[in-house]
Structure 1
Amino acid sequence: MDVAVIGAGAIGGTLAALLDRAGHRVEVTARGERLAAIAADGIRLTGRWGEHRARVAAGERLTAAPELALLCVKAQDELGALRANEPALAGVPLVVVQNGLDGADGARSAHTGPAIGAIAFFSADCPVPGEARVLVPGTLYLGSGTAPPTAEAAEAARVLSTALPSRAVANFAGCQWTKLVVNQINAMPAITGLSVQETLAEPRLRRIILASMREAIRTGRRAGIAFGSLEGMTPLALGVLGSAPAPVGSTLLRLMGRRLGREPVLGSTLQSVQRGLATEIDHLNGAIVARARALGADAPVNAAMTELVHEVERDHRFRTPHEVARRIRLP
């Protein structure tokens, strides 16, 4: 099948390489050093899903209409990427692989074909331009809203499952909220410059991350969300994380860090900071703050973490655990 991947970063590059390995014809979009590296030598896949060199067509914009397209850019870049590739994407099923809550809904305002949400429940990074390294394998979940998956979502999952574990699921909105809770581990590495494992091992930082997760869970419940299941992160596990005594929740987070393995997991937010790019923090922790306020509540820990990430973006200085604990005081 002819598949386009718009945004060949860590997630997009991984998907493009896996699809190429599965025998699909792949075209990707990228910019700058990443585009130059891919155009010269393809995408090198490394890590937990094996090694592969994907020789794919690459440019700043798509040159041909695909049969299926994957949008893998940051939330704030979504509309610009769609408009830039609009001629090639007209009427094409579009899978929006994105963090946050509004990816597929936002895409529908600028796309004429079906827009399908997707959650990448695996971790990857880009050690150098043109390389996609899988750190933690997982599943790609597809769907939209709270209803059963559409025929388009089921078909996209079938195609993508030839390359990696992929499932079309009901209650996709609930799964997005579960991923948003999990993504609370993303901000602290961007604030401190430490890996996810290091932040979850540090007691002061772990307590703050647990508090931010509990705010996210409370906000979702207040919004009437029925949380979905993503691998081992089930509604039951979220219930324990959200309401068990703090030492129990802290232990769960410490175990989560250990399960990530020894290879440092940086998270997408820290990777953006390291490259001098704008982060998605307003669509992660910031989304919790916005939803809480819309419900007449607040989320002070998430608000403080969002502001700290923006400070690091502005002054390019990571904060020590002591500084973070001083700025974010917990009850």
Structure 2
Amino acid sequence: MRIAVIGAGALGGTFATLLTRAGHEVTVTARGAGLAAIRADGIRLRGGFGEAHARPAVLERLVERPELTLVCTKAQDAEAAIGENAVMINGSPVIVVQNGLDGVQTAKRLLPHSECFGALSIIAANYTEPGQVTVTTAAPTYLGRGDGPIDQETRRWQRVLNEAVPTRAIENFIGAQWTKLIVNMLNALPAITGLSVQQVIAHPGLRRVMTASMREAVRVGAGRNVRFGALQSLSNRSLRVFARLPLWAGQILPLRMRRRMGAVPNRGSTLQSITRGQRTEIDFLNGAIVREATAAGLPAPINTLLTALVHEVERSGAFLTPAAVLTRADVLLHAE
């Protein structure tokens, strides 16, 4: 099958390599150093899915119509990337593999003749350098669309992706996007401090802030009448119980997440963007919680602070110490 992968970073590189290994004819889009590296030596994948070396076709933008397209850019780059390739992909199925809440809707708006699906990937991967990806946590990808039951087209594309990477079709995809957004609350503090996710969770003070951001996110989702989807042992019921727990008890959630990560440092996608000097997708993660809170008439002070601190690090290029973060956050935590 002719499959296009738009974006050749950590997830795009992982999907492109594994789909090539499964026998598909893959084309990726890339720019700059990534384009040059893939043209010269393909993509080398290491870690949780084993070692693989793929040489997909690589272009700045697509020139032929694929049978399936995966959009694997960062959330903030999706609109431009889809728009640049719309002539070729409008009318063929598209799967948006992305964090945040907006990706599928953006694709549907720009590609009115395409069937658009969403994929939530729990894979943790480090884009160590152009053309080089290391998978630190091999995990399933969840595929779906809308807030209803699984349809036949979703099952069809699940079978295609599952040939390359473990993929599950899920109902209530919109609710699952919210659940993944809660999981993505892991990203901000590593980007602010330069620490791995495991190190942040091991730090008692930072763990309290992370727990508070997750709890606040669940409360905002509930205020927006979201029915959270089942994902990574989380469910609508368990998240609503978590939102009612005192802060000390709620820390069990990030601690459980840490146990599933293993020992290999998980740097998180937002920290990886910081270290590469790129704009992060924080406005589509913690920033999305702030926007949804505003729409619901609810406060979101912790996520407002974390969004601002990530932008501060983006501008300055200097990480903050845990003590500096806690000085800013403690007043908000004590106000609860």
**Is TM (by shorter chain) over 0.5?**
yes
Q: Which digits, 9 at most, give the CA deviation of each residue in 1:238-259, with x for residues without a partner? A: 2343223333322332232233
Once the two structures are TM-superposed, the CA of residue 64 in structure 1 deviates from its matched residue by: 1.6
Match of 1:152 in 2: 153
The structural deviation recorded for 1:234 is 2.7
Aligned length: 331
Task: Say if 1:46 and 1:52, in contact at 8 Å, map to a contact too.
Answer: yes
- Range 305-314 or range 104-113, more displaced: 104-113
1:88 maps to which residue? 88
Tell me by how many angstroms 1:151 deviates.
3.0
Q: What is the letter of the counterpart of residue 244 of structure 1?
A: L
In 1, the alpha carbon distance for the partners of 2:232 and 2:78 equals 27
Report the 3-state secondary structure (helix = DSSP H, G, I; strand = E; otherwise coil) of the residue aligned with 2:138.
strand
Alignment of 1:136-285 (within 5 A): 136-285=137-286
Partner AA of 1:75 in structure 2: A
AA in 1 matched with 2:97? V
Q: SS state of the match for residue 117, structure 2?
A: strand
The 8 Å contact of residues 208 and 248 in structure 2, kept in 1 or not, is answered as no
Deviation of residue 86 (structure 1)?
A: 1.8
- Rounded to whole Å, the distance in 1 between the matches of 2:237 and 2:248 is 17
Letter in 1 for 2:50: G
Contact 1:96 1:103 in 2 (8 A): yes
Kept in 1: contact 2:68–2:93 (CA 8 A): yes
How many angstroms apart in 2 are the aligned matches of 1:204 and 1:21?
A: 44
Shift of 1:63: 2.5
- 1:109 corresponds to which letter in structure 2? R
Match of 2:298 in 1: 297
Structure 1 residue identity aligned to 2:258 = G
Q: Give the drift of 1:160.
A: 0.4
For 1:74 and 1:153, how far apart are their aligned partners in 2?
23
Taking only the aligned residue pairs, the percentage that are identical comes to 51
Q: Deviations over 1:117-157 (max 9, x none)?
A: 11112211111210121111111111122112333322211
1:285 and 1:190 mapped to 2: Cα distance? 12
Distance 2:179 2:116 in 1: 21
Q: Cα deviation per residue 1:143-180 (whole Å; 9 max; x = unaligned)?
A: 12211233332221111011111122110011000000
Contact 2:211 2:253 in 1 (8 A): no
Instruction: Measure how far apart 1:236 and its partner are.
Output: 4.0
State the AA in 1 paired with 2:157: A
1:269 & 1:236 partners in 2: Cα distance?
29
Q: Find the aligned partners of 2:299 and 2:253 in 1 and give their Cα distance.
A: 25
**TM-score in terms of structure 1 length:** 0.97
- TM-score relative to the length of structure 2: 0.96
* Contact 2:286/2:306, CA 8 A, preserved across alignment: yes
Residue in structure 2 matched with residue 25 of structure 1 by the alignment: 25
Partner of 2:58: 58
Q: Secondary structure at the match of 2:140?
A: strand
What's the offset of the Cα at 1:231?
A: 2.6
Structure 1: gaps spanning 5 or more residues: none
1:103 aligns with 2:103: yes
Partner amino acid for 1:191?
I
Spell out, residue by residue over 1:275-302, the C-alpha distance to the aligned partner (whole angstroms, 9 max, x if none): 1111110110000011011111110000
1:78 is aligned to 2:78: yes
Task: Give the conservation status (yes or no) of the 8 Å contact 1:240–1:249.
Answer: no
The SS at the match of 1:66 is coil
SS of equivalent to 2:38 = helix
Contact 2:198–2:258 (8 Å) recurs in 1: yes
In the alignment, what sits opposite 1:288?
289
Q: Distance in 2 between matches of 1:150 and 1:251?
A: 35
Q: Distance in 2 between matches of 1:316 and 1:172?
A: 36
Q: Give the letter aligned to residue 245 of structure 2.
A: A
Confirm or deny: 8 A CA contact 1:48 1:134 kept in the other structure.
Answer: yes
1:256, 1:170 → 2: CA distance? 23
What is the DSSP-based 3-state SS (H/G/I as helix, E as strand, rest coil) of the residue aligned with 1:108? Answer: helix
Q: Distance in 2 between matches of 1:45 and 1:93?
A: 26
Instruction: Report the CA distance shift for 1:231/1:258 in structure 2 as closer, same or farther (over 3 A).
Output: closer
Alignment correspondent of 2:38:
38
Alpha-carbon distance between aligned partners in 2 of 1:279 and 1:219, rounded to the nearest angstrom: 22
Distance in 1 of aligned mates of 2:246 and 2:295 = 28
